[in-house]
Chains A and B, each alone.
Chain A
Amino acid sequence: KNEVEQSPQNLTAQEGEFITINCSYSVGISALHWLQQHPGGGIVSLFMLSSGKKKHGRLIATINIQEKHSSLHITASHPRDSAVYICAARVRGSQGNLIFGKGTKLSVKP
């Protein structure tokens, strides 16, 4: 069992839809990252969370430490949101390196 698991693995949505990507982890963490990776390969950091909720534009990330679960929401999705979204955990007590989930491939159709 992976220490960081994401669902769904693949997601297809119509433009304008509300999207949720889930992440569960089995280790103690000091922070959780949501990352975006486009087909060219570059990784962009979207959020770093240790508690509660963060919002940036149409993106919202939440985390429930007790349940070891985080969600990434995209409101009013757009084809340019199409990318792989990766959840990555910073394990408590580590030197800051990340353990990555397998990613969720999102495709938003116009």
Chain B
Amino acid sequence: AAGVIQSPRHLIKEKRETATLKCYPIPRHDTVYWYQQGPGQDPQFLISFYEKMQSDKGSIPDRFSAQQFSDYHSELNMSSLELGDSALYFCASSLAKAGGGYNEQFFGPGTRLTVL
């Protein structure tokens, strides 16, 4: 079965550079979540999208932005990168239930971003 795809899997950037992370949800999934996991930390929710609209916002810095496209893939854009942005960035997808509610989230393999 198709899983959540993230690209790139690894990314190395310099301080103050920009980065774009991509997430391709499981086919027919309409909801995408982004999480950030710093070294030795538990994942923290950044932002989510449902049907191409932002549905919730967590601890996402103002330097970051994200969107979900018509094919439901999502991109996380990160500007003015800082050393502290080095982390594993997970995307998860799910299918919203009719009438509200949420199904299980399926996680991608993550993008490991290193900022030098």
Show the binding face of A for B, using Cβ within 8 Å. Answer: 30-31, 33, 35, 40-45, 48, 86, 88, 90, 94-103
A33 to B44 alpha-carbon distance, docked (Å): 15
Q: Quick one: which of A43, A95, A103 contacts B56, CB cutoff 8 A?
A: A95
Q: Quick one: which of A42, A86, A99, A102 contacts B109, CB cutoff 8 A?
A: A42
Q: B31 to chain A: which residues have CB within 8 Å?
A: 96
- Can you add 7 more A-B contacts, CB < 8 Å, to A43-B92, A48-B105, A95-B50? A43-B110, A45-B105, A95-B48, A96-B33, A96-B94, A98-B43, A100-B43
A88 to B106 alpha-carbon distance, docked (Å): 13
A26 to B92 alpha-carbon distance, docked (Å): 24
Show the binding face of B for A, using Cβ within 8 Å. Answer: 31, 33, 35, 37, 42-45, 48, 50, 55-56, 58, 88, 90, 92, 94, 96, 101-107, 109-110, 112
| A90-B42 contact, Cβ under 8 Å, with A41-B110, A45-B107 | no
A43 to B31 alpha-carbon distance, docked (Å): 18
Tell whether, in the assembled complex, residue B42 and residue A103 are in contact, meaning their CB atoms are under 8 Å apart: yes
A41 to B43 alpha-carbon distance, docked (Å): 11
| A96-B43 contact, Cβ under 8 Å, with A41-B88, A41-B110 | no
Tell whether, in the assembled complex, residue A99 and residue B110 are in contact, meaning their CB atoms are under 8 Å apart: no
Q: Give, as a whole number of angstroms, the nearest-CB distance from B48 to chain A.
A: 5
Q: Give, as a whole number of angstroms, the nearest-CB distance from B42 to chain A.
A: 4
Tell whether, in the assembled complex, residue A96 and residue B102 are in contact, meaning their CB atoms are under 8 Å apart: yes
Q: B56 to chain A: which residues have CB within 8 Å?
A: 94-97
A28 to B24 alpha-carbon distance, docked (Å): 31
| A102-B42 contact, Cβ under 8 Å, with A42-B109, A45-B107 | yes
